[in-house]
Amino acid sequence: MPHQLGIPQQPIVSLAYPGAEALKSSLEVFKDILKSLGAIAFLGTGTVQFETIPPRGTAITTKFMQIETILEKILDFWLLAPRASVYSVAFSPDSRTLVSGGADRTILVWDFYTAQQKYVLRNHSDWVYSVTISPDGQTLVSGSMDKTIKVWNLNTGEEIRTLVGHSDAVSSVAISPDGQTIVSGSKDTTIKLWDLKTGQELRTITDPSDWVYSVAISPDGQTIVSGCADATIRVEKRGILTGHSSSVTSVAISPDGQTLVSGSIDETIKVWDLRTGQDLLKLAGHSGGVTSVAISPDGQRVVSGGNDNTVKVWDLKTGQNIHTFTGHLEAVLSVAISPKGLVIASGSRNDVMRIWIMPS
What was the pLDDT predicted at 82?
57
* 185 close to 171: Cβ distance less than 8 angstroms: yes
86-332: CATH number? 2.130.10.10
What pLDDT does 272 receive? Answer: 98
Residues contacting 22, CB < 8 A, separation 6+: none
For the whole prediction, is pTM greater than 0.85? no
What's at 214, amino acid-wise? S
Which residue ranges of the chain lie beneath pLDDT 50? 1-78
pLDDT at 81: 53
pLDDT per residue over 240-270, tens digit each?
999 999 999 999 999 999 999 999 999 999 9
Cα–Cα distances (Å) from 316 to 62, 147, 273, 295, in that order, read 37, 35, 12, 8
CB 130 within 8 A of CB 172: yes
- Check residue 117 and give its pLDDT: 85
**Alpha-carbon dihedral of residues 1, 14, 117, 72, nearest 10 degrees?**
160
243 to 9, 91, 156, 223: CA distances (angstroms): 45, 31, 44, 20
- Secondary structure string (H, E, C) spanning the chain: CCCCCCCCCCCCCEECCCCHHHHHHHHHCCHHHHHHCCEEEECCCCEEEECCCCCCCHHHHHHHHHHHHHHHHHCCECCECCCCCEEEEEECCCCCEEEEEECCCCEEEEECCCCEEEEEECCCCCCEEEEEECCCCCEEEEEECCCEEEEEECCCCCEEEEEECCCCCEEEEEECCCCCEEEEEECCCCEEEEECCCCCEEEEECCCCCCEEEEEECCCCCCEEEEECCCCEEECCCEEECCCCCCEEEEEECCCCCEEEEEECCCEEEEEECCCCCEEEEEECCCCCEEEEEECCCCCEEEEEECCCCEEEEECCCCCEEEEECCCCCCEEEEEECCCCCEEEEEECCCCEEEEECCC
For residue 53, the model assigns a pLDDT of 36
pLDDT for 80 equals 54
Residue 76: the pLDDT is: 39
> In one letter, which amino acid is 38?
G
Domain boundaries, the chain: 14-74, 86-332
CA 190 – CA 209 distance, rounded (Å): 8
- Report the distance separating Cα 143 and Cα 69, nearest Å: 37
The predicted structure's pLDDT at residue 71: 35
Q: Which residues contact 28 (CB under 8 A, 6 or more apart)?
A: none
Of 307, 331, 346, 351, give the one whose Cα is nearest residue 84: 351
